[in-house]
Structure 1
Amino acid sequence: MTLTDDIAHDTAVELAVARLVDEFRPRVRPQVVGTVVRSCRRDLSGVPATALPELVERLARTRLETVA
């Protein structure tokens, strides 16, 4: 299994996408939110697993705020 496969099946990523879609609707399309969250997850691939859920969501929120 590759990192991309892991990200696609990561529950924390799915939950972050759902929360951020609700938060940024209607300013940002859900597909964009998903892309940003998965990109953040890849960027944080070296972070300890226990810290990932919070850090991924925070980084994605920051990035989305700059485009929304």
Structure 2
Amino acid sequence: MYPSVPLSADPSVRGAIDRLSAEFAGRAPAAVVDRIVRGSRRDLDAAPVAALPELVERLARQRLLDGADVAG
């Protein structure tokens, strides 16, 4: 298992939220993007820390595209 990084201190979370909020503006509220990114990060807790920025953003983007929780 890899060391856990708190969500509040994880730059992969903030960066993904910023980029995906811009990408999904008008399609998903910012609060929904935030929730999906943070949930994606929690689901990837066992992934190597160095891989998190890409993995978090890809998983969250796919969930947003699939419409998971986009209704708010």
TM over 0.5: yes
- Distance in 2, Cα, partners of 1:58 & 1:48: 15
> Is residue 2:43 matched to residue 1:16?
no
Partners in 2 of 1:8 and 1:66 — Cα distance?
A: 26
Q: How big is the alpha-carbon RMSD for the aligned residues of Structure 1 and Structure 2?
A: 1.5
The structure with the greater share of residues assigned to helix is 1
Give the alignment's TM-score, normalised by structure 2. Answer: 0.84
Distance (whole Å) between structure 2 residues aligned to residue 59 and residue 46 of structure 1 = 14
**Deviations along 1:10-44, whole A, 9 cap, x unmatched?**
11100100000000011000000000000000000
For residue 55 of structure 1, what is the aligned residue in structure 2? 55
* Structure 1 ranges of 4+ moved more than 6 A: none
Partner of 2:26: 26
Given the two structures, how large is their TM-score scaled by the length of structure 1?
A: 0.89
Gaps of 5+ in 1: none
Q: Which runs of 5+ in 2 are unaligned?
A: none
Q: Secondary structure at the match of 2:6?
A: helix
- Alignment length (residue pairs): 65
